[in-house]
Amino acid sequence: MIVAPGVMMLELESEGFGGPVAIHPTLIWDEEDAILIDTGMPGDWIRIQHAMQEAGVPLDRLHAVLLTHQDLDHIGSLPDVVSAKNGHLEVIAHHEDAPYIEGKYPLIKTSHEAMAKLLPLLPEEHRPKVLAMCDMHPSANVTRLITDNEVLPYCGGIRIIHTPGHTAGHVSIYLERSRILIAADAMISVDGMLQGPVPHATLDMGSAIHSLSKLAKYAIDTVICYHGGLSEQNIHHQILQLSHSSITKP
């Protein structure tokens, strides 16, 4: 879906902990550059390429992948993207999550230890697929570390907002030209309305709620959530309300 000129929200159906789920990487481009925000699950690269073709964005224009955090459904196809570019690709992430993306440590939420706690809570028919996630270790070198409030010089300006909580190195992205917030997993969208981060998938709920107050400072017309997609209604009010709440819906 084209959200604004040069901004496409992808919709990829992937396997989640409880069955199939839709996830939403974002492609940003202009006449000189294209930037992919997150890479989906392992095996999603072919569908991302199809989306790029649909948008008229050639592979040689893709100059960077910006990873919002370390989770498997965000970095899963990273090795395929790097390989397709023969290594000529900037891989961008926050320093807190970079060691996990580089494979120096197991991904926190899909480690064997984490899965051992989760499996008893899942229906038996979902357990084999979820357990298989423990053996998925996509990784690549992070070539650029980003910091809070940094503006990347791509596509009219890509502002980094460090929004820790979901993970320590989680970032959201503000596109100044189109007033779009790519929230990643800082929020979810349900029927077009924003909800706070999902508690069972969030490492530090206190930090996650505090991070929402940072987002309320921006002039935002549209939010792209990795889970749930778009929200376009009274964005400032919605985020402000969530940032004042200590309890979010699952």
What CATH number does residue 119 fall under?
A: 3.60.15.10
Q: What does the pLDDT read at residue 249?
A: 42
For 214, phi then psi, to 5°, come to: -70, -40
Tokens coding 27: 């492609």
- The answer to whether position 132 is within a domain reads yes
Range of the domain at 34: 2-243
Tens place of pLDDT per residue across the chain (250 aa): 999 999 999 999 976 666 678 999 999 999 999 999 999 999 999 999 999 999 999 999 999 999 999 999 999 999 999 999 998 999 999 999 999 999 999 999 876 676 766 666 777 777 777 767 777 789 999 999 999 999 999 999 999 999 999 999 999 999 999 999 999 999 999 999 999 998 988 999 999 999 999 999 999 999 999 999 999 999 999 999 999 875 444 3
Q: Does the residue 17 lie in any domain?
A: yes
Residue 37, in any domain of the structure: yes
Cα–Cα distance, 90 to 147 (Å, whole number): 16
Number of domain units in the chain: 1
3-state class of 19 per DSSP? strand
- Residues 145, 147, 153, 156: what is their CA dihedral angle, to the nearest 10 degrees? 130
Would 81 be classed as within a structural domain?
yes
Q: Which of 189, 184, 176 is nearest to 25 (CA)?
A: 184
Residue 187 forms part of a structural domain: yes
Q: Does residue 248 fall inside a structural domain?
A: no
Q: In terms of Cα–Cα distance, which of 108, 40, 105 is closest to 73?
A: 40
215, part of any domain: yes
Provide the 10 A C-beta neighbour count for residue 187: 29
Pairing of strands 144-146, 151-152: unpaired
Residue 249 lies in a domain: no
